Amino acid sequence: MSTNDRPTPGPPGTPATQVVLLGTGTPVADPARSGPATAVVVGDVAYLVDLGPGVVRRAAAAHARGVTALAPERLTRAFVTHLHSDHTAGYADLILTPWTNGRTETLTVYGPAGLRAMTAHLLAAYAADIAVRRVAEPDAHAGVAVNAVEVGPGLAYRDKLVEVTAFPVEHGSWAQAFGYRFQTADRTVVISGDTRPSETLVEHSRGCDVLVHEVYSTAGFQQQPPGWQAYHSAFHTSAAELAELASRIRPGLLVLHHQLFWGTTEDELLAEVRSRYDGPVLCGADLDVI
């Protein structure tokens, strides 16, 4: 997508778009980095992408810092890139916690095949909890309901604030894994999800304002056992590979996300990318607002 394909800025008063990194972690249990979750916030509406562990409490923390759209009771729209556990372990939290905090609207979640079954199983697992709260709690609204929508490549969602396009990415042996492009009146934001270098991502990201992309340290990768090297090269993107992708995409800002450091520092990971890419780069951290 070229810069000419971006939406034209809206009139004065058009809601501004923010990207809030709620969780930048991986399956590694790093207490400083919650599981992968990102919010695209347009005015007073939040659109979540991925539901890693800690997603609701990170949203509450962002709300406490002034992002009003991320109040837990206002979390009603979400997108899932794929069904790996680190991207979905917070799904039950998103269903239940905002409900007990006063959400009254149905939660709608968009994602790949298998999302409906996962949703049904989670609701079944917590059926006793839901039944007790509905009877015992004075403010047990209808906000525990979930509308799970399985999407394919192409337009996944549209409202007056945003158009969301799902595109397939290559994430090892997963039959379906998506990246998402958010197009608003003032910004184009692309979130890669988990992926190895993907031509579809290049196609949907060219000239975007913000590219949030997963990455692993090239130096750290060299220290991994052969089996893990084979796994990560099939499922994920190295710093060197991401630099080459970014050189073709030329985003306004490249944000490193879901970082596998393997003993390297943030500065060293940034240096790996910057050695092959001359554009603006941020090593994302939880609760960064972009």
Length of the chain: 290
Which residue in 5, 44, 86, 186 is the catalytic one? 86
Strands (E) across 43-162 are located at 45-49, 77-79, 107-111, 146-150, 154-158
Q: What are phi and psi of 122, to 5 degrees?
A: -65, -45
Active-site residue flag, 86 = yes
**Distance of alpha carbon 210 from the chain centroid:** 13
Structure tokens at 263: 């003993």
Spatial distance between the Cα atoms of 26 and 29, rounded to a whole number of angstroms: 8
What DSSP assignment string belongs to 20-58?
EEEE---SS--TTSPSSEEEEEETTEEEEE---TTHHHH
152's enclosing H/E stretch is: none
Quick one: which of 62, 57, 133 has its CA closest to 99? Answer: 133
Asked whether the beta carbons of 26 and 235 are under 8 A apart, the reply is: no
CB burial class (10 A; 0-12, 13-18, 19+) of residue 250?
middle
Q: Looking at the annotation, which residues are catalytic?
A: 86
